[in-house]
Structures are given as structure tokens and as C-alpha cells.
Amino acid sequence: MSASERYGSALAAELRVWIDQDLCTGDGICTDHAPAVFTILEDGIAYCKEDGKVFNDPGGAAELAAVPRSLEKDVIDAAAECPGECIFIEFAELPEIDDGVGSSGLQSSTRAATAAPPT
């Protein structure tokens, strides 16, 4: 079960995303899921974009892009399917969820987390 399926409306919190270009394999899965948020440049590596501005200065979390609420599920799914596990998502705010399962796999506030499970 994906994080977006498990937590549904709890993921209405604002998301920010960045890509670690050192880990990117250039498969383009992210652009398949959310082409408004991700792009592949001439170097074959994925980058985030926000309102048409491409964050193409590799530098990790300094290049955070805001994710439109309508695309949050797509960005989370892209991170979950990324073979390089290079997509990092930060939740600006994450409500407490008492679903009997716990909140593993999702982090809030200043701590970044990939939506992809470790392999």
C-alpha cells in the first residue's frame, strides 16, 4: 500500500520536494507521475521545478520546490517508485493519525524523508 493510499486526506499538508542528483538514475519515472513538478535536463538527471522555474543547482535541500496540493499524491507516488530513491519530501505539517498502524514512512517538519521504503 502506498503512503498516499494509507494516509489519504492526512496528506493535505503542504509538501516540499527536492532531488539528490547524485542518486538520480535518470529513469524519468518522476516525470511520468508529475511532469509539472519534475523535469529531466540535458544531463539526463531529474530536477524539481516550481511555477516554471527549474531548480537546477544541485545542492540538496537548498533547492526545495513547493508542491501544488493537487499534485501531492503524484509526487509521493513518484518518490515511492523512484529506483534511485533520490526524491526527498518534506511535510510542512502532518496531523497526528491514529490508524492503529503507526506513522512509519512519513516524517514531518524539518526532517526529510523519501516516500520509498528502504531496499
Q: What does 41-84 look like in DSSP terms, one character per residue? A: -TTS-EEEEETTEEE-S--GGGG-EEEPGGGHHHHHHHHHH-TT
Per CATH, domain 3-91 is 3.30.460.80: no
The mean pLDDT value for 111-116 works out to: 41
Query: What is the model's pTM?
Result: 0.67
Higher pLDDT, 28 or 97: 28
Q: 104 pLDDT band (50/70/90 cuts)? A: very low
Q: What would the pLDDT profile of 5-43 be if each residue is shown by its tens digit?
A: 554 544 444 889 999 999 999 999 999 999 999 999 999
Kindly list the domain boundaries of the chain, sorted by start residue. 3-91
Q: What would the pLDDT profile of 45-77 be if each residue is shown by its tens digit?
A: 999 999 889 988 765 667 789 999 999 999 999
Report the pLDDT value the prediction gives residue 14, as an integer from 0 to 100. Answer: 82
| Interatomic CA distance for residues 58 and 83, integer angstroms | 19
Q: Is the pLDDT of residue 98 over 90?
A: no
